[in-house]
Structure 1
Amino acid sequence: MQMGIVRRSVGALLAVIVLLGAVPVGAAEKSAPRHSAQAIGKAERAMQEITAQAARETATAEMQDTRISSVMLHWTPYPAAVRYAVRVLRGSVGAPMKTIATMEYVYTTGLHLPLMAYGAVDDLYWTVQPLGYDGTPLAAASEPCPVREAEADPAAPALTTEYAAMPYAPLYPVYSWVPLAGQKEHEVEVYRREVGHDRYVHTLRGGEYDVYDDTPFTVPGTYVYRVRGVTAAGMPISNWSAYGSFTVAERTPIAALGDSITHGGGAITVPPSYQLYDWESYCTVPVKNLGRSGDTTEAMLERFERDVLPFAPRVLIIMGGVNDYRVGIYGAETVRNLAALREKCRAHGITPIFLTATPIRPALMTARMTINTPPSDWWAHRDYVNNWVMQQEHSIDVATVLSDADGELEEGYTTDGLHPDLTGKKYIGQTVDSYLRTHFAYASAEAERRVRMLKNMEKTS
Structure 2
Amino acid sequence: MLLRKITAILLLFLTVTVPAFAQPGKVQLVWPHAEDVVMYELEVARVKVADDAPAPAAEIVYTSTSIYTPGVELNLASFAAPESKKLYYRVRPLDLDSEPIGRFSRPSALLQGKLNSLKPATTTNFTDRPTPLYMVYSWIPVLGAARYEVEVTNHIPERENGITPSKYRVRAYSVGQVFDFYDPQPFTREGCYYWRVIAFDENNKAIGAYSDAVPFRVERGVYKWATYGDSITHGGGAVSNPPSDARYDYAYYLPFAVKNLGKSGDTAAALAERFEQDVLPFKPEVMLILGGTNSIRGGVSAAEVIDSLTTIREKCEKYSIKPVFLTLPPLNPERIQRVFNQPTADNWQQELKKVNAFIKTQPDYIDVYAALVDDKGLLPVKYAQDGLHPDIAGKKVMAREVNAYINSH
Counterpart in 2 of 1:83?
Answer: 39
Alpha-carbon spacing, 1:283–1:178, altered in 2? closer, same or farther (3 Å): same
Query: What's 2:63 paired with?
Result: 102
| Alpha-carbon spacing, 1:266–1:184, altered in 2? closer, same or farther (3 Å) | farther
**2:324 partner letter:** I
Alignment-derived partner of residue 178 in structure 1:
140
Structure 2 partner of 1:202 = 171
Judge conservation of contact 2:157–2:213 (CA < 8 Å) in 1.
no
1:428-461 CA deviation, whole Å, 9 max, x = no partner?
123223323443xxxxxxxxxxxxxxxxxxxxxx
Q: Give the superposition deviation at 1:162.
A: 2.4
Q: Does 1:365 align with 2:322?
A: no
Moved more, 280-289 or 294-303: 280-289
Measured after TM superposition, the shift of residue 101 of structure 1 is 1.0
- Once the two structures are superposed, residues 92-147 of structure 1 have per-residue CA deviations (whole angstroms, 9 ceiling, x without a partner) of 58797722111221110101122232323442211011111121122221110122
Query: What is the 5 A alignment of 1:78-227?
Result: 78-91=34-47, 98-116=59-77, 117-120=79-82, 121-165=84-128, 167-193=129-155, 199-206=168-175, 207-227=177-197
Of 377, 381, 386, which aligns to 2:356? Answer: 386
8 Å contact kept, 1:205–1:211: no
Using the aligned pairs only, state the percent identity. Answer: 37
Q: Deviations over 1:239-276 (max 9, x none)?
A: 11111121111222110110000000011111101122
Do the aligned partners of 1:285 and 1:433 also contact (CA within 8 Å) in 2? no
CA contact (8 A) 2:199 2:206 kept: yes
Match among 209, 213, 236 for residue 239 of structure 1: 209
Determine if the alignment matches structure 1 residue 70 to structure 2 residue 70. Answer: no
Q: Is residue 92–residue 123 contact of structure 1 (8 Å, CA) maintained in 2? A: no
Q: Which runs of 5+ in 2 are unaligned?
A: 1-23, 159-165
Where 1:193 maps in the other structure, the secondary structure is coil
**Measured at CA, do residues 235 and 153 of structure 1 come closer, stay the same or move farther in structure 2, by a change above 3 Å?**
closer
Q: How many residues align?
A: 370
Q: Give TM-score, length-normalised by structure 2.
A: 0.86
Whole-Å separation in 2 of the counterparts to 1:193 and 1:362 = 45
Paired letter, 2:241: V
Stretch moving more, 68-77 or 317-326? 68-77
1:396 aligns with 2:366: yes
The answer to whether the 8 Å contact 2:144/2:201 transfers is: no
In the superposition, relative to structure 1, how do residues 118 and 194 fare at CA in structure 2: closer, same or farther (>3 Å)? closer
TM-score normalised to structure 1 length: 0.76
Which residue does 2:255 correspond to in 1? 284
Larger radius of gyration: 1
Structure 2 match to 1:264 = 235
Q: Which residue of 2 aligns with 1:447?
A: none
SS at match of 1:245: strand
Structure 1 pair 341–145 and aligned structure 2 pair: CA distance change class (3 A): same
Which of 309, 334, 338 matches 2:309?
338
1: distance between equivalents of 2:371 and 2:26?
Answer: 48
Which letter does structure 1 place at the counterpart of 2:172?
A: T
Alignment match, 1:454:
none
CA 1:195 to 1:126, structure 2 compared with 1: closer, same or farther past 3 Å? Answer: closer
Whether the aligned pair in 1 keeps the contact of 2:296 and 2:348 (CA below 8 Å) is yes
Which residue type is aligned with residue 275 of structure 2?
Answer: F
Q: Is the Cα–Cα contact under 8 Å of residues 287 and 323 in structure 2 kept in the other structure?
A: yes
**1:191–1:214: structure 2 CA closer, same or farther, 3 Å change rule?**
same
Matched position secondary structure for 2:310 = helix
3-state DSSP of counterpart to 1:101: strand
Following the alignment from structure 1 to structure 2, what is the Cα–Cα distance between the partners of residues 256 and 92? 47
